[in-house]
Chain A
Amino acid sequence: MRECLIIGKPNAGKSLFFVNFARYLGVTHFRLGPEKPPLAAARAAEELVKPAPHYTRRLFRVILPAPSRDGPITVLTDSVGLTDHAAAAAEIRKAMAETLRAFRGAAIILHIVDVTAAAGSPAAPGPVDRELAQVASRKAGYALLANKMDLPGAREGLKSLGRLQLPGPVIAVSALAGSGFPEVRHFLLRG
């Protein structure tokens, strides 16, 4: 068994990627809590994805269908958005520490950045992305997902991301439209 952790800044698109990518891999229902009923993907997306940053305050895990009967079982984990600096709310700080704990244990890291965020805005790739990438790139499986490729300005954003020279392979994706999912799947199968 291996854990694949989706990690990145608030509003980078982690939860939407979590739901849509899991659906792409064949997950039909999501159980969003130990006592909660299974939800269809569309309902799960409604529950998990909100425009407000830090909507996700805990880790969500979904078991991916194994590629073969004896193939390794992969757990896909959605995490709490990481800011550059310390968060004001204790609850969010605790959830961030939980995310870092999961980061230590996870075999595969999918690091998501929003390539359309204006430079200097809180959502734009920043120090936390640089530091995270440095540590994560030492793991066997690490990929940087350049998200929101469906939005205008994404191509320019992708070029600026290249200038940051973050280590590891970059996969351009749209969590909303599903572009780049085959490449991420290929990356998971290979890792």
Chain B
Amino acid sequence: MGKHWPPGAPRLPDPGRILESLERGEIGPAEAFARWRGLDRPPAASMSSHEPPAPTAPDVLGELDSLIGLAEVKRLVKEIRAFAVIQARRAREGLAAEATALHMIFRGNPGTGKTTVARLLGKILHGAGVLENGHVVEVERADLVGQYVGHTAQRTREQIRRASGGILFIDEAYSLARGGDKDFGREAIDTLVKAIEDHKDFIVILAGYRLEMRAFILANPGLRSRFPLHLDFPDYTGGELLAIADLMLREREYRLDREAHQELAWRFDGQRPREGGPDNAGNARLVRNVIEQAMRRQACRLLGQERIGREDLVTITRADLGGDGGRCGSV
């Protein structure tokens, strides 16, 4: 049996489940907040000014903090880092150090920040001295599973070799169990488990939809014990999607006028995909599509204008967000 994270601590309730219970009427709002109290506790004290000097560049942690939403994910990432730093320090002092496995499961819909967090985590754990390089190798089923017996093990080992000193991020990992026992996906899982035992110089992150990942882990006891860290990536709220749109536009030196903001507030309201569905409604990809389209429409609108000022160049108006305004027409 592998070690649990954090060592000895009870498993925290999943915020998504609290909301599901509320929605089903099993608990009322007062109880939902009470259960939440345990979750939304402030970051561990070890992350405050008492934190020992660590080699992690603070700007990486700042980058993590600047991500919109993801409060629980940020807290856990900081805990993992703090724990890793302290274990290394304990080892230097000759104290018993927990060799806790840092392999993780990232559960959530597409576009909820899983890959972004994985990349930051690589840098953070590199800074903390846990990973030699901290790079992230992103793969999916097709990169691991081969065409004939033996081919899969070879391909999987190749990806593991590339991830040495960093993170092997397997997206939609549940698809490895898709074809049942005779499928080559099984061989990839077995190769992975063996590599985790043999090599301690890399971290594996298995990512995918929440329910699919839960079923996948339950069906593979060998993985359950070796992946002690589970991070949930909830869908963004309407307000968070709006904040993401704002940020993406600011990075591109554009801004929304107030009417356009109001339009997007409506557009993003209640935009949440169904669990496991193909929809990418409630996530950052939707936002990117919307703003990139708006930038093109703004360009069309401006070309039809006689005079174009600097302010015009940076402003996205409501007309640019759809409807009939700003189309270039059949040019």
A→B interface (CB under 8 Å): 1-3, 5, 31, 33-34, 58-59, 61-63, 65, 73, 75, 77, 82-88, 90, 93-94, 96-98, 100-102, 104-106, 126-128, 130-132, 134-135, 138
In the bound complex, residues from chain A placing their C-beta under 8 Å from that of B239 are: 3, 5, 61, 75, 77, 102, 105-106
Q: Classify chain B: how many residues form its interface, as a range.
A: 35 or more
Give the segment of B34-42, B122-130, B155-163, B283-291 that binds chain A.
B34-42
B242–chain A nearest beta-carbon distance, Å: 6
The residue in B29, B237, B238 that gathers the most chain A C-beta atoms within 10 A of its C-beta is B29
B4–chain A nearest beta-carbon distance, Å: 26
Inter-subunit contact A86/B237 (CB<8 Å): no
B81–chain A nearest beta-carbon distance, Å: 21
In the bound complex, residues from chain B placing their C-beta under 8 Å from that of A58 are: 269-270
Inter-subunit contact A34/B267 (CB<8 Å): yes
- Report the nearest B residue to A99, measured CB to CB: B29
- Beta-carbon contacts of B1-24 to A below 8 Å, as 1s and 0s? 000000000000001000110111
Inter-subunit contact A63/B258 (CB<8 Å): yes
A78–chain B nearest beta-carbon distance, Å: 12
In the bound complex, residues from chain B placing their C-beta under 8 Å from that of A87 are: 25, 28
Inter-subunit contact A100/B29 (CB<8 Å): yes
- Report the nearest B residue to A90, measured CB to CB: B25
Inter-subunit contact A31/B33 (CB<8 Å): no
Inter-subunit contact A105/B33 (CB<8 Å): no
Inter-subunit contact B36/A135 (CB<8 Å): yes
- Report the nearest B residue to A66, measured CB to CB: B258
Inter-subunit contact A84/B28 (CB<8 Å): yes
Complex Cα distance, B71 from A127, in Å, reads: 25
* Residue B26 is within 8 A (CB to CB) of chain A in the complex: yes
Inter-subunit contact A104/B28 (CB<8 Å): no
In the bound complex, residues from chain A placing their C-beta under 8 Å from that of B246 are: 1, 73
- Report the nearest A residue to B265, measured CB to CB: A61
Inter-subunit contact A131/B30 (CB<8 Å): yes
Inter-subunit contact A31/B266 (CB<8 Å): yes
* Residue B261 is within 8 A (CB to CB) of chain A in the complex: yes
Inter-subunit contact A104/B23 (CB<8 Å): no
In the bound complex, residues from chain A placing their C-beta under 8 Å from that of B31 are: 131
* Residue B174 is within 8 A (CB to CB) of chain A in the complex: no
Question: 4 tightest CB-CB pairs across the interface, nearest first?
Answer: A3-B239, A131-B33, A85-B28, A105-B237
B78–chain A nearest beta-carbon distance, Å: 16
* In-complex Cβ contact of A3 among B22, B34, B243 (8 A): B243
- Report the nearest A residue to B243, measured CB to CB: A1
In the bound complex, residues from chain A placing their C-beta under 8 Å from that of B236 are: 105
Complex Cα distance, B242 from A5, in Å, reads: 14
Complex Cα distance, B33 from A128, in Å, reads: 8
B36–chain A nearest beta-carbon distance, Å: 5
Inter-subunit contact B22/A100 (CB<8 Å): yes
Inter-subunit contact A34/B29 (CB<8 Å): no
Inter-subunit contact B29/A96 (CB<8 Å): yes
In the bound complex, residues from chain A placing their C-beta under 8 Å from that of B22 are: 86, 93, 96-97, 100
Complex Cα distance, B241 from A28, in Å, reads: 25
Question: Known contacts A63-B258, A63-B261; can you find 16 more A-B pairs with CB under 8 A?
Answer: A1-B246, A31-B263, A59-B238, A61-B265, A73-B261, A82-B29, A85-B30, A87-B28, A93-B23, A93-B25, A97-B23, A102-B238, A104-B237, A105-B69, A132-B33, A138-B41
Inter-subunit contact B258/A65 (CB<8 Å): yes
B22–chain A nearest beta-carbon distance, Å: 5
Inter-subunit contact A101/B237 (CB<8 Å): yes
In the bound complex, residues from chain B placing their C-beta under 8 Å from that of A82 are: 29
Inter-subunit contact A31/B243 (CB<8 Å): no
* Residue B139 is within 8 A (CB to CB) of chain A in the complex: no
* Residue B225 is within 8 A (CB to CB) of chain A in the complex: no
Inter-subunit contact A128/B30 (CB<8 Å): yes
Inter-subunit contact B258/A134 (CB<8 Å): no
Inter-subunit contact B26/A61 (CB<8 Å): no
- Report the nearest B residue to A92, measured CB to CB: B25
In the bound complex, residues from chain B placing their C-beta under 8 Å from that of A134 are: 33, 37
Inter-subunit contact A102/B237 (CB<8 Å): yes
Q: Which of B265-322 contact A (CB under 8 A)?
A: 265-267, 269-270
* Residue B27 is within 8 A (CB to CB) of chain A in the complex: yes
- Report the nearest A residue to B34, measured CB to CB: A131
* Residue B240 is within 8 A (CB to CB) of chain A in the complex: yes
In the bound complex, residues from chain B placing their C-beta under 8 Å from that of A85 are: 28, 30
In the bound complex, residues from chain B placing their C-beta under 8 Å from that of A128 are: 28-30, 33
* In-complex Cβ contact of B242 among A1, A93, A126, A138 (8 A): A1
